[in-house]
Structure 1
Amino acid sequence: MRRFLATSVLCGVLISACAISSAIVLARIVSAVITDPSTRSVAHWTPLLAILLALWTMRTAAHWWQARLGQRGVSAVIAELSGQVLAAVTARSPGRLAAERDEAAVVVTRGLDGLRPYFTAYLPALLLAAILTPASVVAIALFDRRATVLVAITLPLIPLFMVLIGLATAERSAAALAAMTTLQARLLDLIAGLPTLRALGRAAGPEHRIAELSAAHRRSAMATLRIAFLSALVLELLATLGVAVVAVSIGLRLVFGEMSLTAGLTVLLLVPDVYWPLRRIGVEFHAAEEGRATAEKAFTLIGEPAAEPARGHRRVTARGAVIGLERLTVAGRDGDAPHALSARIEPGRVTVLTGANGAGKSTTLAVIAGLTAPTAGRVTLDNVDIADLEPAEWWRQLSWLPQRPALIPGSVAENLALFGDLTDVASACAAAGFDEVMASLPDGPHTVLGRGGVGLSLGQRQRLGLARALGSTAAVLLLDEPTAHLDAATEQRALAALVERARAGATVVVVGHRAPVLAIGDRVIAVNNRGAVADARA
Structure 2
Amino acid sequence: MTPLDPRLLRRSRAARGFLVAGGALAVGQAAAILAFAWALASLVAGVIDGMRMSQALPLLVVLVAAASARALTAWLWDLAGSAGAMRVKAELRRDVLELLERRPGGVPGFPTARIATLLGPGLDALDEYFGRYLPQLVLTVIATPLLIAAAWIADPLSGLVLVLVLPLIPVFMALIGMATEAVQRRQWESLASLSRGFLEVVGGLSTLAVFGRAERQTSRIRDVTDDYRSRTMKVLRITFLSGFTLELAASLSVALVAVSIGLRLVGGDLTLAPGLFVLVLAPEVFVPLRNVGAAFHASAAGVAASSDAFDLHVAAGESAAPAPGDHDRGPDRRGARHEGLIVRDVRVRRGERVVLDGFDLEARPGELVAITGESGSGKSSLFAAILGFADSEGELRLAGRPLQPGDRSAIAWSGQAPALFEGTIAENVRLGDEHAGRHHLTRALLIAGVELDPERRLGPAGAGLSGGQAQRVATARAIHRLLARDGRLLLLDEPTSAQDADRESEFAARLRRLTDEGRVVVLSTHRSALSDAADRSIELAAAHV
The one-letter amino acid paired with 1:165 is I
Q: Conserved in 2, the CA contact under 8 Å of 1:29 and 1:45?
A: yes
Segments of 5+ residues of structure 2 without an aligned counterpart are: 1-13, 314-318, 434-439
- Structure 1 residue 239: Cα displacement: 1.4
Partner of 2:542: 527
SS of equivalent to 2:256 = helix
Partner of 1:13: 27
Q: Using the alignment, how far apart are the partners of 2:154 and 2:397 within structure 1? A: 81
- Structure 1 residue 128: Cα displacement: 2.4
Corresponding residue to 2:104 among 72, 90, 94 = 94
* C-alpha RMSD of matched pairs (Å): 5.1
Corresponding pairs, count: 498
Corresponding residue to 2:380 among 362, 371, 392 = 362
Corresponding residue to 2:69 among 43, 50, 58 = 58
Corresponding residue to 1:376 among 378, 393, 414 = 393
The one-letter amino acid paired with 1:232 is G
Corresponding residue to 2:457 among 443, 448, 461 = 448
Query: 1:402 aligned to 2:415?
Result: yes
Provide closer, same or farther for how the CA distance between residues 523 and 44 of structure 1 changes in structure 2, counting only shifts above 3 A: closer
The one-letter amino acid paired with 2:542 is V
Segments of 5+ residues of structure 1 without an aligned counterpart are: 532-538
Query: What is the correspondence of 1:103-118 to structure 2 with a 5 Å cutoff?
Result: 104-118=115-129
Query: What is the correspondence of 1:392-431 to structure 2 with a 5 Å cutoff?
Result: 395=411, 402-412=415-425, 429=449
Query: What is the correspondence of 1:282-431 to structure 2 with a 5 Å cutoff?
Result: 282-298=293-309, 304-306=320-322, 310=327, 316=338, 326=345, 328-333=346-351, 335-338=353-356, 340-342=357-359, 351-354=371-374, 360-367=378-385, 369-378=386-395, 387=403, 391=407, 395=411, 402-412=415-425, 429=449
- Structure 1 residue 406: Cα displacement: 4.0
Partner of 1:535: none
Q: Using the alignment, how far apart are the partners of 2:352 and 2:244 within structure 1? A: 51
The one-letter amino acid paired with 1:395 is I
Deviations 1:279-324 (A, max 9, x none): 1221122222322333344456675454896479967465xx9x76
Q: Using the alignment, how far apart are the partners of 1:132 and 1:106 within structure 2? A: 37
Q: Conserved in 1, the CA contact under 8 Å of 2:166 and 2:253?
A: yes
Q: Using the alignment, how far apart are the partners of 1:457 and 1:149 within structure 2? A: 79
Partner of 2:82: 71
The one-letter amino acid paired with 1:404 is A
Q: Using the alignment, how far apart are the partners of 2:408 and 2:236 within structure 1? A: 51
Q: Using the alignment, how far apart are the partners of 1:263 and 1:235 within structure 2? A: 27
Partner of 2:3: none
Corresponding residue to 1:174 among 185, 207, 210 = 185
The one-letter amino acid paired with 1:354 is E
The one-letter amino acid paired with 1:449 is L
Partner of 2:288: 277
SS of equivalent to 2:74 = helix
Provide closer, same or farther for how the CA distance between residues 500 and 197 of structure 1 changes in structure 2, counting only shifts above 3 A: farther
- Structure 1 residue 142: Cα displacement: 2.8
Provide closer, same or farther for how the CA distance between residues 101 and 241 of structure 1 changes in structure 2, counting only shifts above 3 A: same
- Structure 1 residue 9: Cα displacement: 3.5
- Structure 1 residue 483: Cα displacement: 6.4
Deviations 1:473-521 (A, max 9, x none): 99998665566567xxx3x556777998999999876455x99999999
Q: Conserved in 1, the CA contact under 8 Å of 2:467 and 2:498?
A: yes
TM (normalized to structure 2)? 0.70
Provide closer, same or farther for how the CA distance between residues 501 and 201 of structure 1 changes in structure 2, counting only shifts above 3 A: farther
Q: Using the alignment, how far apart are the partners of 1:475 and 1:15 within structure 2? A: 57
Q: Conserved in 1, the CA contact under 8 Å of 2:411 and 2:488?
A: no
Q: Conserved in 2, the CA contact under 8 Å of 1:66 and 1:124?
A: yes
Q: Conserved in 2, the CA contact under 8 Å of 1:413 and 1:446?
A: yes
Deviations 1:403-453 (A, max 9, x none): 212435455577689896798978975xxxx8xxx6xxxx76653323432
- Rg bigger for which structure? 1
Q: Conserved in 2, the CA contact under 8 Å of 1:94 and 1:371?
A: no
Q: Using the alignment, how far apart are the partners of 1:467 and 1:54 within structure 2? A: 64
Q: Conserved in 2, the CA contact under 8 Å of 1:115 and 1:288?
A: yes
Deviations 1:47-94 (A, max 9, x none): 5445434433333333233333433443344344444443x2354132
SS of equivalent to 1:336 = strand
- Structure 1 residue 455: Cα displacement: 0.6
Q: Conserved in 1, the CA contact under 8 Å of 2:411 and 2:491?
A: no
The one-letter amino acid paired with 1:332 is R
- Structure 1 residue 41: Cα displacement: 8.9
Q: Using the alignment, how far apart are the partners of 2:246 and 2:409 within structure 1? A: 63
Q: Conserved in 1, the CA contact under 8 Å of 2:246 and 2:293?
A: yes
Provide closer, same or farther for how the CA distance between residues 515 and 158 of structure 1 changes in structure 2, counting only shifts above 3 A: same
Q: Conserved in 2, the CA contact under 8 Å of 1:23 and 1:266?
A: yes
The one-letter amino acid paired with 2:393 is A
Partner of 1:534: none
- Structure 1 residue 177: Cα displacement: 3.4
Query: 1:230 aligned to 2:248?
Result: no
User: In percent, how many aligned pairs have the same letter?
Assistant: 33
Provide closer, same or farther for how the CA distance between residues 154 and 405 of structure 1 changes in structure 2, counting only shifts above 3 A: same
